[in-house]
């Protein structure tokens, strides 16, 4: 009888997985590696120190919370040494795909002999919408599980390679990756393209997410901040961010709003959105990282879909 370990993308899905008729222990990966500085050495002391500093500074995560929620669960993963089958449960979006890469990179080093498979939610037949794991019924989840993808050594090496590139100080190497199709990661290409669009636009200094937020404000004129947040979460596409992440973004670009109840842009906000003025100099911050790269050391050119180094 093979022993089984499941690694999930978060607490909500862990609770759901426990209700399914599937055997095995469960570890929850509690991180958001799509934001803040990352080091390629997943699980090392400097890796966790770097992550805590980012989460503490930007999300007021306390040391006790970090130890209790993230490190304890990570140590539990370290102690699960016997399982010969490991199943990863992740979703199509950038948030999940970056966490998935980090976990596979760690497994490549620390669980060489385990069979690793991937259950990934996203596209569903007969619909354009992409689905998170928690949006699926029990039958749909069991069907996904039945069709899980066993990762070959090449797949694992490739995921680790993409993780190394994500953690490097130059995102241009990621845009030159053309061979996603040769590996069993259906959603990785879209997630990495979404990542590159998080660098500031050459046109107005805001990135794709910040422009999307302004655009929803201008077009839909939400009546309240709550309504605004709901619309952002619904229209964010491949990012997979949560409301706390959008709260942080709104704080950064707050001067472009005259009000949040109802949601209205200032004249400057409208000019930035209309690309009549560039907001790069106001936003520039030498301590904001996306993966291993400094966000404001690069610009994204939507016309050519290329990254430029400043």
pLDDT tens digits along 20-62: 999 999 999 999 999 999 999 999 999 999 999 999 999 999 9
Dmax over Cα atoms in the chain, in whole Å? 66
Mean pLDDT along residues 61-69 = 97
pLDDT > 90? residue 2: no
Number of domains in the chain: 2
Which residue bears the tokens 């990282």? 289
Query: CA 111 to CA 246: how far, in whole Å?
Result: 35
Do residue 182 and residue 70 come from a single domain?
Answer: yes
pTM: 0.97
Do residue 219 and residue 179 come from a single domain?
Answer: no
Tokens found for residue 132: 């998170």
pLDDT tens digits, one per residue of 124-134: 988 889 999 99
Do residue 35 and residue 168 come from a single domain?
Answer: yes
pLDDT tens digits, one per residue of 96-127: 999 999 999 999 999 999 999 999 999 998 88
pLDDT tens digits, one per residue of 167-210: 999 999 998 888 888 999 999 999 999 999 999 999 999 999 99
pLDDT of residue 177: 85
Mean pLDDT along residues 156-167 = 98
Contact by Cβ (8 Å): 121, 133 = yes
Alpha-helix runs per DSSP H in 147-255? 153-166, 172-175, 188-196, 208-220, 225-235, 243-252
Domain C-terminal end among 163, 195, 227: 195
Do residue 143 and residue 35 come from a single domain?
Answer: yes
Query: CA 177 to CA 191: how far, in whole Å?
Result: 13
Q: What is the CATH classification number for the domain harbouring 54?
A: 3.40.1360.10
Which residue bears the tokens 């370290």? 78
Query: CA 148 to CA 141: how far, in whole Å?
Result: 10
Do residue 282 and residue 257 come from a single domain?
Answer: yes
Do residue 184 and residue 260 come from a single domain?
Answer: no
Residue 202 lies in a domain: no
| pLDDT tier, 261 (very low <50, low <70, confident <90, very high otherwise) | very high
Domain of 169? 4-195
Query: CA 122 to CA 147: how far, in whole Å?
Result: 14
Do residue 43 and residue 158 come from a single domain?
Answer: yes
Contact by Cβ (8 Å): 110, 40 = no
Do residue 247 and residue 191 come from a single domain?
Answer: no
Residue 220 lies in a domain: yes
Do residue 169 and residue 217 come from a single domain?
Answer: no
pLDDT of residue 179: 85
Do residue 33 and residue 147 come from a single domain?
Answer: yes
pLDDT > 70? residue 228: yes
Beta-strand pair 85-91/115-121: parallel
Domain C-terminal end among 195, 227, 248: 195
- State the Cα torsion 142-144-147-151 to the nearest 10°: -120
Among 304, 40, 38, which Cα is nearest to 172's?
A: 304
Comparing 15-19, 121-125, 153-157, the range with the smallest average pLDDT is: 121-125
Residue 139 contacts by C-beta under 8 Å, 6 or more apart in sequence? none
Mean pLDDT along residues 254-270 = 98
Residue 60 lies in a domain: yes
pLDDT of residue 266: 98
Q: What is the CATH classification number for the domain harbouring 228?
A: 1.10.10
Do residue 162 and residue 213 come from a single domain?
Answer: no
Beta-strand pair 306-309/298-301: antiparallel
Do residue 113 and residue 187 come from a single domain?
Answer: yes
Residue 209 contacts by C-beta under 8 Å, 6 or more apart in sequence? 197, 198, 236, 239, 241, 249
pLDDT > 90? residue 70: yes
DSSP state of 44: S
Which residues are 130's β-sheet partners? Answer: 123
pLDDT > 80? residue 254: yes
Residue 203 lies in a domain: no
pLDDT of residue 4: 96
Mean pLDDT along residues 3-31 = 96
- Over the chain, what is the mean pLDDT? 96
Domain C-terminal end among 141, 169, 195: 195
Contact by Cβ (8 Å): 144, 121 = yes
- State the Cα torsion 229-230-231-237 to the nearest 10°: 100
Comparing 1-5, 160-164, 263-267, the range with the smallest average pLDDT is: 1-5
pLDDT > 80? residue 1: no
Percent of the chain with pLDDT over 70: 99
């Amino acid at each position: 009888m093979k022993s089984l370990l499941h690694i999930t993308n978060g607490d909500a899905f862990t609770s759901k997985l426990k209700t399914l008729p599937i055997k095995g222990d469960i570890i929850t990966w509690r991180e958001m590696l799509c934001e803040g500085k990352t080091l390629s050495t997943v699980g090392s002391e400097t890796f966790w120190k770097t992550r805590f500093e980012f989460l503490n500074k930007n999300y007021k995560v306390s040391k006790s919370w970090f130890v209790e929620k993230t490190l304890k669960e990570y140590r539990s993963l370290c102690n699960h040494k016997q399982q010969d089958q490991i199943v990863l449960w992740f979703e199509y979006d950038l948030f999940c795909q970056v966490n998935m890469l980090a976990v596979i990179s760690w497994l490549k080093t620390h669980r060489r002999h385990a069979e690793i498979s991937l259950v990934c939610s996203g596209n569903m037949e007969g619909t354009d919408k992409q689905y998170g794991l928690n949006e699926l019924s029990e039958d749909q989840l069991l069907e996904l599980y039945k069709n899980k993808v066993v990762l070959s050594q090449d797949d694992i090496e490739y995921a680790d390679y993409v993780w190394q590139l994500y953690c490097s100080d130059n995102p241009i190497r990621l845009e030159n990756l053309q061979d996603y199709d040769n590996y069993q990661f259906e959603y990785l290409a879209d997630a990495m393209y979404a990542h590159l669009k998080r660098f500031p636009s050459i046109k107005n200094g805001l990135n794709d997410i910040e422009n999307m937020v302004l655009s929803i404000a201008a077009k839909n004129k939400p009546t309240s901040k709550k309504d605004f947040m709901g619309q952002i979460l619904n229209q964010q596409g491949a990012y997979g961010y949560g409301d706390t992440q959008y709260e942080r973004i709104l704080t950064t670009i707050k001067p472009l709003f005259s009000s949040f109840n109802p949601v209205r842009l200032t004249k400057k906000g409208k000019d930035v959105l209309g690309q009549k003025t560039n907001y790069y100099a106001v936003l520039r911050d030498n301590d904001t990282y996306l993966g291993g790269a400094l966000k404001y050391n690069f610009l994204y050119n939507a016309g050519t879909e290329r990254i430029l180094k400043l």
